[in-house]
A and B are shown apart, each in its own frame.
Chain A
Amino acid sequence: GAVVSQHPSRVICKSGTSVKIECRSLDFQATTMFWYRQFPKQSLMLMATSNEGSKATYEQGVEKDKFLINHASLTLSTLTVTSAHPEDSSFYICSANPDDSRYNEQFFGPGTRLTVL
């Protein structure tokens, strides 16, 4: 099956700093990737749809200036949490939708645990 990686797997940062999370599709191309946020013991909430070569589409209530998304290539999307605060602490998961139509599912990364002190 197709593999999606995320880096880093865990990050701890101070309040006010920015953190970048990478999402890579390792063996397929993906024009579209997705970023989710998961609070403890809760479900995944879609934050935004990342489109290669164009602006991301953010879900209602998600601040686009706080959660910057860059999808610069067909295998890489990045999420930057700017001026992070403790309430941004969460588990961030990306997924990728392969361009190859033979794959008929999204593939999820292993997630990134962000802790803001």
Chain B
Amino acid sequence: AQSVTQLGSHVSVSEGALVLLRCNYSSSVPPYLFWYVQYPNQGLQLLLKYTTGATLVKGINGFEAEFKKSETSFHLTKPSAHMSDAAEYFCAVSDPNSGGYQKVTFGTGTKLQVIP
């Protein structure tokens, strides 16, 4: 069984400040890990994903995340927040042995507020 824990349902940062959204996972096998962003009343957009290889993953809109196996973490960061980053962010995990991109388990989400 897999699970995802996102610490902090709400995070507020000032425009231009560092964004750090935390995600810890639990998986019995090396997982695939994802970060999605959701704007109000819209579907999900993939920000970045980790499957294999380099543990530091760069995504769209200046976001990146680092897979740390020893800490079972996949925190999302962005050096400088922009107003357009205000949205809900979901961390997710899937089992590569189950098709890899199927049966994705989502975290509870973190709502990011960017203060002007």
Contacts and interface: CB of A to CB of B under 8 A. Distances in A.
Interface of A: 4, 6, 32, 34, 42-46, 49, 91, 93, 95, 97, 104-106, 108-111, 113
B44 A32 contact: no
Interface residues of B, number: 22
A4 B104 CA distance: 17
B42 interface: yes
B106 A32 contact: no
B69 interface: no
Contacts of B45: 108
B41 A111 contact: yes
B46 interface: yes
Contacts of A95: 44
Contacts of B90: 43-44
What's the dominant secondary structure at chain B's contact region? loop
Nearest to B39: A110
Interface of B: 34, 36, 41-46, 49, 51, 90, 99-109
21 contacts: A4-B43, A43-B90, A43-B108, A43-B109, A46-B105, A91-B41, A97-B99, A97-B101, A97-B102, A104-B100, A104-B101, A105-B34, A105-B49, A105-B101, A106-B104, A108-B36, A108-B44, A110-B43, A111-B42, A111-B43, A113-B41
